[in-house]
A = this chain, B = another copy of it.
Amino acid sequence: MTKARRKFWGWGLESETLSEADAGRIARRVGSLTGLGPGPYTAPPDIDELALPAPRVTPPGSLAGLCRSDAYSRASHTYGKSYPDYVRAWARDFAPAPDVVAWPESEADVAALLDWAADAGVAAIPYGAGSSVVGGVEPQVGAGYAGTLTVDLGRLDRVLEIDRASRAARIQGGVLGPAMEAQLKPAGLTMRHFPQSFAFSTLGGWIATRSGGHYATLYTHIDEFVESLRTVTPAGTIESRRLPGSGAGPSPDRLMIGSEGSLGIITEAWMRLQDRPTHRASAALRFADFAAAAAALRAVGQAGLYPTNLRLVDSEEARLADAGDGSFHLAVLAFESADHPVDAWMSRALECMADHGADFERDAATRARDPLADAWREAFIRAPYDREGLIAHGLLHDTFETAITWDRFEEFHAGVKEATEAAIVEATGRPGHVTCRFTHVYPDGPAPYFTYLAQPAPGAEVEQWRAIKSAASDALIRAGGTITHHHAVGRDHMPWYEAQRPALFGAALAAAKRALDPAAILNPGVLLPPRAAAAEAAQPS
């Protein structure tokens, strides 16, 4: 194993695997803070412990050089990074492994791989870096296919062209966040789009899943940064025109943004960039009352100030993140600019906060950094690494996120939290721990993000998780929210996505898919149902 190889069973590099001692420390800490009881330690799987099913298909000779079917390649492309993904990895269960993994080196390679897949009735699963927490890359495609091919875009990893005047760059879809930023830095540019998965997720993946990033207001989703796209579909390549704005019919890009690999593979995008910020202000604010804190964030969100960061963390979530003792709800507020000092902006935002009872340091308006905000940020970045410690000790840790208008927020928040707490008791027989933060704030409503912990019965983790997930999703759809603000739909959210999606828009989307992917080979079961009958697996052309 080389040092830079990624874990095939979880988040991060193999070299970053938690030691048994660290896993224990993390699990005991969470246990003592929540009252949950960590079980005994189980080590993560070793590749030699797996018994993968034999590959059902073999790529033609012309593509063999791009493809692999060894155990590590297949195992590392079996799952995303959701809780049930970890549980099945810990159970040494990699049954859904793809038959073949391909690493195209050019757009022509992508097209050739899709040609083969369509001809052979093989399902093709586009894969960026596997950060999906919603089953978006899992090759579970039903009986209608001869096999499964995962298309890993990781070798399409370059910034191809930079337009300094327009602050834009043409970038390949398979580049990881840090590698992209490193290539933009010499030009003084940055995307400033930092999803929590930044280190191990790709530009193409962000676009395909409507990723939510760094900016907590205004430029929240990757959608706004897309200037144009190149997408390879089984029917051919779609390239949209590079434009700062257009009113020429429905946006071609907006059909691809959020298509989750079901309509095509995004090989290149012209992306809007920023100058690197030089002015910064950051503040942490304490609130005694959660409703007052929400009102404060609403006031700032509706003031036309567009802070870079505007987040709210409830007292329990702050306590678990070591950013407070649980006696206050924590808000994080930040402005940044490459152009001008931001003190006028920060001063006015702090006034709005103070109007709603915020407590903050006297010099908050002039601080570039705040230790409490930094503590929360550090915990936020560590979270995906620490999670394996909880799972190694049998604890359930999951998150779900949504968005809702302000008029319905209070009732929504209470209802979803209560439904999730009740579902945890119902499923596991004991109380769990449910917290909430706002990841993004819009003038018309927040994006609440829920984290929950529970202690499932050993061996019944996936089943108990599913019962909780299902109850929480039912509650948020019933109360008017969206099944996802930025985690995407994948396979896990399909029932609630279908409940949320207008039926006739579903029909229009299915019709568009038939035009672009007539053999229905692209990420079957995501957004649209897979082809069902094995008979259909015969060559469609």
Contact = CB atoms under 8 A, between A and B. Distances in A.
Contact of A445 (B166, B236, B440): B166
B485 A247 contact: yes
Interface of A: 163, 165-168, 209-212, 220-221, 227, 233, 235-252, 254-260, 263, 272, 275, 298, 302-306, 337-340, 344-345, 348, 352, 403-407, 440, 442-447, 480-489, 493, 497, 500-505, 507-512, 514-516, 527
Contacts of A514: 511
Contacts of A488: 247-248
> Which of A239, A407, A505, A510 gathers the greatest number of chain B CB atoms within 10 Å?
A505
Given A243-B403, A259-B249, A405-B242, A516 B489 contact: no
Given A168-B444, A302-B275, A248 B512 contact: no
15 contacts: A165-B405, A236-B504, A240-B505, A244-B444, A246-B482, A246-B484, A248-B488, A248-B501, A249-B260, A250-B509, A251-B257, A303-B339, A305-B340, A508-B511, A511-B512
A290 to B, nearest CB: 16
A405 B166 contact: yes
A480 B241 contact: yes
A304 B245 contact: no
A446 to B, nearest CB: 7
Contacts of A501: 248-249, 252
A505 B248 CA distance: 12
Contacts of A241: 480, 482, 500
Contacts of A220: 245
Contacts of A406: 163, 165-166
Nearest to A210: B247
A486 B246 CA distance: 7
B515 A245 contact: no
Nearest to A224: B224
Given A444-B272, A497-B248, A504-B515, A165 B258 contact: no
Nearest to A446: B244
Contacts of A505: 238, 240, 252, 255
Given A504-B516, A510-B515, A511-B515, A258 B247 contact: yes
B489 A248 contact: yes
A227 B235 CA distance: 33
A443 B404 CA distance: 29
A257 B340 CA distance: 35
Contact of A304 (B338, B481, B487): B338
A-B pairs with lowest CB-CB distance, top 4: A244-B445, A210-B247, A244-B442, A344-B344
A165 B512 contact: no
Contacts of A221: 245, 247
Contacts of A507: 235, 515-516
Contact of A166 (B258, B260, B444): B444
Contact of A502 (B165, B166, B252, B254): B252
A84 to B, nearest CB: 20
Contacts of A212: 247
> Which of A239, A304, A348, A497 gathers the greatest number of chain B CB atoms within 10 Å?
A304
A501 B246 CA distance: 11
Nearest to A260: B249
A402 to B, nearest CB: 9
Given A227-B444, A508-B512, 16 more contacts: A163-B406, A209-B247, A237-B504, A241-B480, A243-B445, A244-B446, A245-B482, A248-B484, A249-B258, A249-B527, A250-B257, A255-B255, A263-B508, A304-B338, A344-B344, A504-B516
Contacts of A260: 249
A445 B260 CA distance: 29
> Which of A250, A254, A298 gathers the greatest number of chain B CB atoms within 10 Å?
A250
B516 A239 contact: no
